[in-house]
Amino acid sequence: MGKRRVPRKKIKDMTARDREVVAALENMADDIVKAVGNGEDPRFQIPVRALSNVFFNTNRRIIEMGDAKIDRKFFNLSMAKKFMQTILIASMCKKELLETGKTTSIRDMYYMIKHSIGKTRENTVDDQSESDPIIEDIEVTLETLREELHLFASNRGSMVGPVILEDGGDTINLTKMGTGGWSVPSIVEPDTVKFKESKAQFILLVEKDAVWRRLNEDKFWKKHKCILITGQGQPPRGVRRMLYRMRNELRTPGGGKLPVYVFVDNDPWGYYIYSVIKQGSINLAYESMRMAIPDARFLGLSAFDLEKYDLGPDVQIKLNKQDVARTKQILNYDWFKSKQWQKELKKMLKNGVKLELEALSSKGISFVTEEYLPDKIKAGKGKGWLV
Amino acid sequence: MNHAQPVNRAVKGRSAMARKRITAEEMARKQKAISISEFFSKNRHLLGFDNPTKAVLTTVKEAMDNALDACEEAGVLPDITVTIRENGKAVTRADLNVKRGKKGAAKPKSSNGPAHYLVIVEDNGPGIVKKQVKSIFGKLLYGSKFHRLRQSRGQQGIGISAAGMYGVMTTGRPMKISTKTGKRKPTYYCELKLDTKTNEPVIISECELPRVSGDEPGDPAKRDILSDHGTRVTIELLGDYRKGRTGVDEYIRQTAISNPHAKITFNAPDASFVYARVVDELPPEPKEIKPHPYGIELGQLGTMLAATSEGTLSQFLRSEFSQVSATIANQIVVEANKNIAGKDITTRSRPSLIAKSQDKLRALFKAIQTVRIRRPRVDVLVPIGSDAIIAGLKKEIRADFYTAVTRPPTVYRGNPFLVEVGIAFGGDLSKPDPNAVDLNSIDDADDLSHDVGDDRSGPARILRYANRVPLQYKQSDCAITKVITQTNWRNYGLSQKRGQLPYGPMEIMVHIASVWVPFTSESKEAVADYDAIHKELKRCIGECARKLGTYVRKRAAQQREAQRRKIFELYIEEVVQAVKRIKGDDFDPDPLRDGLVAIALQKTGADIQEDGETEPEPTGPNPPSDGLDAVAASDEDDEADEAGGVEADIEIGVQPDDAEPATLFDGLEDKTSRQPARASGGKRSSRRRKRAAG
């Protein structure tokens, strides 16, 4: 590190936001110097990112973060290492990224700060799973976004549909993306991704990559004029932010906002994915307001589909103990307190089984594209989908 | 003392009879009493002359025991010189190996193989009057010690004459005695042999030595005694000088520990050592007591009844035993009559008549066991004392921690005894691994907790003593060893495999003082496991171990603190560099670094406060076994009703800090749960749990 000379940006050359972030990072360092000057144990006050510190804002219908903070003290053996890692990452963000105008992945950041301490075999960090939460800590502490720290996560997620956009200066026609689709970058802020044109009527988020591929192959998006997007499991921030922007910035030919349909497995994890799209996540509650889509529509699989589509025992998977416990937990979320949702969740518990999206293939390979999805969307609120 | 009884060969005769008929007359001719000397010359292993190495040790031991006892009795601070040297060259194994060109030739040998050795022990005791010399050194079972009950080193008076006899048997050379009883008296010198057939000493030559005023060459055995008074014994024997745990050097070192009031000079064949006197006061003289009725055996009672000069049974009981009053004597007689049909035992019965009647003897013996008799006086014993034990340990062992406990005297089978324990821990005893903090191993917080008494030190060494005499052989047969291995040392922060000695850099010294120490055999090498003794040992070792445990935990805590500080020091550099990275090249990192180091010192330098003598929770390095735990727990209960022993503690290397306790490091508690939990551990970890939940 620091062996090769990298031209540095002067403060005046930075964007306004970069300047703010640099000031916030400098504040962190100043706080340490000040505390030590007073003979005090230096500490960071980090907002708590846990269920205990989130609440459901019933007006805005999103999860917001509370005010609870935790002291991360240096002179506490269980926190000392994290403290050191925090200031280490902060210093790298400032010196190696903001000052050079470069952006890097969180994996790269892990390697940037990883080195052995002194002459010991102990490392500053041993695994990326140690540095990633620290980055999130810095985000919440400084009230910055990851991209404002010039960091991004690895890309995950694909998208196709009747949309033309600009990505890093290149114009991309999302109707001509072949079988793989456009890889959704982790940073999709307006200065990177700009919308040019859209003929879409709605957006369909699919949990499973395999199902997304089926829909793409069947050109479902063409027939139904929709944007087809997958996050390959729990959608990463890029996909969620993309959904939010599309929801709020694109308009149907009729001038309305694009409805967002969520198509997930019928299991607690699927419900939670929907919950995150809709209200935001507990871990990243501070970003809910720029990611949550409170009127996202839960299309399926619904627990009621089991009987409705007569899905046989071959495709049913028994709920295990954790599934049941997790579902009971979800039953208690404020945002699932409506009658319909309680019915839905309790129905799954009553079924005692979970269903994967692929279960629909038992009805024929294109059953999902030709019957299930069109029927459900057509059936409308309550019958076809839930909010 | 059954060994001392004449033994006949009837057994041998009978086994021969099975094959060939022999008349009773023939047998009678063969059946003859053998002398004690003859018996022992054939059974010399019973006295510790099993092999050449042990013969040297036993000779030194018997002579030193006598010397120390004599000095103390005369009220003289002992000044003893032990000289061992080879007399005449024997062919050594090393020589043989060189000649044969064997590989082992280069190996330094601790022994040169059996050879003629001279053992010379000189003391500054009161000396011996001329006419007694012959009996003391030339007769087995002769001495001032056998006929009384008193805490003294030698017990039977067998030793020194047996050593002399062994010398005569193996080298043909007589024992040489020089003795002087006063400043103005001449030194008497004699050479004598023991006639093993008659148990009678034979003086070969005797003379008065010319006065000299300084060392001069010549026969070291035949030099004038330079002190005002004293005795020198010279024995030439076939022996082998070996060093090590069971060697003479170790015997003398251990004797120096248990006799800090003695100055001992040891001229070994290869080097000379002086063990300094560190206590300038003689221990008080042990008092002599009569046997307690409870300690007597049937045969012994008979012998005493037959031999007594008292005219009536009541007088006999009152004068020959301790704690027997006229009332008690009456009670014994009443009880005795219950055991016999005739009911004709009276207080006025003649003792010799009772001795002749087996029925009466048995009835009397049984009665003695049933009547409640006060326990004997226990103030007749003289402990080394916890302070002197620590002084002795400190003198010979450079350790970090010393502790000692002297228990109050108590009684086993009518004999008063007491137990003392001293422990030296750490310091030179834990020489391997000089790097206290191995940072390379701090990969995760688990590694922060090192056991203090960990395996690399090997098992603890045990120094066993009976009436201040070191016991070096038969360690595993000894009650002392048994109790130490049965103690759960894991409760005290040490590691231990079940039923084995604890591991750790320590020496455990255990002393049993008694008017009659029960040994497992005549060679006096292992203490017999009587219940009362076992119990006292357990208590005393437990008390000492608890003190050690407190220290070990304190030390472990300090080591952890040092390691924590080390970690902070490492992290501090990272933090300082990170701050500099943010603040830019103009930032001066030194004040920040110094400030952080200062805080680290303040936070981690604090000595973990021990809540007094709290019991460790049973969370040792290994999960403790239930059985041993139960033992430890019941021991505790006993402790509550018993008056504690005299205790002393000395710690070196632990400097309690005035700084506040390092409560900030509660986070560590969970991670170091391999360590024995401190008394406040529960509270801490629950706090930790609470936070983890939040």
State how far the Cα of B342 lies from the Cα of A8, in Å rounded to an integer.
121
State how far the Cα of B637 lies from the Cα of B408, in Å rounded to an integer.
18
Which residues from chain A sit within 8 angstroms of residue B591, using beta carbons?
Answer: 36-37
Q: What is the pTM of this model?
A: 0.58
pLDDT digits (tens, 9 = 90+) for B372-429: 988 888 788 889 999 999 999 998 888 999 999 999 988 888 888 999 999 999 888 8
pLDDT given at position B605: 58
Q: DSSP secondary structure string, A115-170?
A: -B-TTSS-BS-S-HHHHHHHHHHHHHHHT--GGGGTEEPPP--EEESSEEEEETTE
ipTM at complex level: 0.77
Coil, helix or strand at residue A28: helix
Q: DSSP secondary structure string, B250-314?
A: HHHHHHHHH-TT-EEEEE-SS-EEEE-----SPPPPPPPBPPPGGG--HHHHHHHHHH---SSHH
Ramachandran class of B101: left when φ > 0, alpha when ψ lies in -120 to 50, beta otherwise: left
Work out the pLDDT band at B194, boundaries 50, 70, 90: confident
Coil, helix or strand at residue A81: helix
pLDDT given at position A4: 56
How far the first Cα of chain B sits from its last, in Å, is 75
The percentage of chain B sitting over the pLDDT mark of 90, rounded to a whole number, equals 27
Query: Is residue B503's pLDDT more than 60?
Result: yes
State how far the Cα of B441 lies from the Cα of B194, in Å rounded to an integer.
67
Is the minimum CB–CB distance between A27 and chain B shorter than 8 Å? no
Contact A95 B581 (CB under 8 A): yes
Give CA angle at B213 (B218, B81), nearest 5°.
65
Query: Is residue B684's pLDDT more than 80?
Result: no
pLDDT given at position B565: 75
Across the range A231-250, mean pLDDT stands at: 91
Across the range B313-321, mean pLDDT stands at: 90
Query: Is residue B665's pLDDT more than 60?
Result: no
Contacts of B644 (CB under 8 A, 6+ apart): B543
pLDDT given at position A312: 83
pLDDT digits (tens, 9 = 90+) for B328-387: 999 999 988 888 877 788 888 888 888 888 888 999 999 998 899 888 887 888 899 999
8 A C-beta contact, residue A277 and residue A294: no
pLDDT given at position B451: 40
Residue B440 has its nearest CB partner, among A37, A81, A121, at A121
pLDDT given at position A325: 92
Closest residue by Cα to residue B578 from A242, A27, A84: A84
Contact A26 B583 (CB under 8 A): yes
From the number of C-beta atoms within 10 Å of its C-beta (0-12, 13-18, 19+), residue B536 rates as: buried
pLDDT given at position B154: 67
pLDDT given at position A271: 92
Is the minimum CB–CB distance between A116 and chain B shorter than 8 Å? no
Residue whose pair of structure tokens reads 């004997």 in the numeric block: B376
Query: Is residue A37's pLDDT more than 60?
Result: yes
State how far the Cα of A148 lies from the Cα of A134, in Å rounded to an integer.
15
8 A C-beta contact, residue B289 and residue B322: yes
A202-206, strands of its sheet edge to edge: A182-183, A158-160, A226-230, A202-206, A260-263, A297-300
Query: Is residue B572's pLDDT more than 70?
Result: yes
pLDDT digits (tens, 9 = 90+) for A122-152: 889 999 999 999 999 999 899 888 888 998 8
Which residues from chain A sit within 8 angstroms of residue B571, using beta carbons?
Answer: 74, 80-81, 83-84, 117
Task: Nearest chain A residue to B593 by CA: give it.
Answer: A36
> Which of A166-180, B384-398, B434-448 bottoms out in mean pLDDT, i.e. has the lowest?
B434-448
pLDDT given at position B521: 77
State how far the Cα of A209 lies from the Cα of B659, in Å rounded to an integer.
61
The percentage of chain B sitting over the pLDDT mark of 70, rounded to a whole number, equals 70
State how far the Cα of B118 lies from the Cα of B86, in Å rounded to an integer.
6
pLDDT given at position B132: 84
Is the minimum CB–CB distance between A10 and chain B shorter than 8 Å? no
Across the range A61-71, mean pLDDT stands at: 88
Q: Which residues of A37-51 are buried (b: 16+ CB within 10 A; e: fewer)?
A: eeeebbbbebbbbee
Contacts of B499 (CB under 8 A, 6+ apart): B485, B486
Residue B582 has its nearest CB partner, among A25, A41, A42, at A25
Coil, helix or strand at residue A371: helix
Closest residue by Cα to residue B505 from B411, B429, B605: B429
Q: State how far residue B484 is from chain A, nearest Cα, in angstroms.
A: 38
Query: Is residue B158's pLDDT more than 80?
Result: no
Query: Is residue A273's pLDDT more than 90?
Result: yes
Contacts of B565 (CB under 8 A, 6+ apart): B600, B601, B604, B605
pLDDT given at position B10: 41
pLDDT digits (tens, 9 = 90+) for A95-128: 989 988 888 999 999 999 999 887 777 889 999 9
State how far the Cα of B249 lies from the Cα of B241, in Å rounded to an integer.
9
Q: Which residue has the higher pLDDT, A172 or B103?
A: A172
Express the helix, strand and coil content of chain B in percent, nearest 5 each.
45, 15, 40
Across the range A84-89, mean pLDDT stands at: 94
pLDDT given at position B124: 93
State how far the Cα of A217 lies from the Cα of A209, in Å rounded to an integer.
12
> Which of A226-235, A290-299, B58-67, B619-628 bottoms out in mean pLDDT, i.e. has the lowest?
B619-628
H-only helix segments in B194-258: 248-258
State how far the Cα of B125 lies from the Cα of B102, in Å rounded to an integer.
49
pLDDT given at position A242: 94
Query: Is residue B642's pLDDT more than 50?
Result: no
Is the minimum CB–CB distance between A213 and chain B shorter than 8 Å? no
Task: Nearest chain B residue to A93 by CA: give it.
Answer: B582
> Which of A72-81, A84-93, A224-233, A235-244 bottoms out in mean pLDDT, i.e. has the lowest?
A72-81
Is the minimum CB–CB distance between A16 and chain B shorter than 8 Å? no
Query: Is residue B288's pLDDT more than 70?
Result: yes
Residue A301: asked if its preceding bond is cis (omega within 30°), the reply is yes
Across the range A346-369, mean pLDDT stands at: 90
Our measurement of the distance from residue A211's CA atom to the centroid of its chain's CA atoms, rounded to an integer in Å, reads 20
Coil, helix or strand at residue B443: coil
A253: how many CB neighbours lie within 10 A of its CB?
Answer: 10
pLDDT given at position B139: 66
Looking at the DSSP bridge assignments, the partners of residue B463 are B509
Coil, helix or strand at residue A318: strand
pLDDT digits (tens, 9 = 90+) for B115-137: 899 999 999 999 988 888 887 78
Query: Is residue B628's pLDDT more than 60?
Result: no
State how far the Cα of B227 lies from the Cα of B193, in Å rounded to an integer.
26
Q: State how far residue A142 is from chain B, nearest Cα, in angstroms.
A: 15
**Strand pairing class (B506-514; B415-425):** antiparallel
Query: Is residue B597's pLDDT more than 50?
Result: yes
Contact B582 A29 (CB under 8 A): yes
Which CA distances in Å does B122 have to A234, B128, B145, B221, B587? 93, 13, 20, 10, 78
Which residues from chain A sit within 8 angstroms of residue B671, using beta carbons?
Answer: 78
Residue A87 has its nearest CB partner, among B578, B667, B694, at B578
Q: DSSP secondary structure string, B115-161?
A: EEEEEEEEE-S----HHHHHHHHHSTT-SSSTTSB---S-SSS-HHH
Across the range B189-200, mean pLDDT stands at: 80
Q: Which residue has the higher pLDDT, B24 or A236?
A: A236
Contact A124 B439 (CB under 8 A): no
SS3 sequence, B458-525?
CECEEEEEECCEEECCCHHHCHHHHHHHHCCHHHHCEEECCCCCEECCEEEEEEEEECCCCECCCCCC
pLDDT given at position A116: 87
Query: Is residue B464's pLDDT more than 90?
Result: yes
Indicate the DSSP class of residue B40.
H
pLDDT given at position B217: 60
Closest residue by Cα to residue A343 from A293, A375, A310, A302: A302
**Strand pairing class (A104-105; A297-300):** unpaired
State how far the Cα of B576 lies from the Cα of B595, in Å rounded to an integer.
11
pLDDT given at position B216: 58
Across the range B556-582, mean pLDDT stands at: 85
Computed over every residue of chain A, the mean pLDDT equals 89
Contact A75 B599 (CB under 8 A): yes
Query: Is residue B689's pLDDT more than 60?
Result: no
Across the range A344-358, mean pLDDT stands at: 92
Indicate the DSSP class of residue B442.
T
Computed over every residue of chain B, the mean pLDDT equals 75
How far the first Cα of chain A sits from its last, in Å, is 50
8 A C-beta contact, residue B510 and residue B390: no
pLDDT digits (tens, 9 = 90+) for B241-260: 888 888 899 999 999 999 99
Across the range A267-289, mean pLDDT stands at: 88
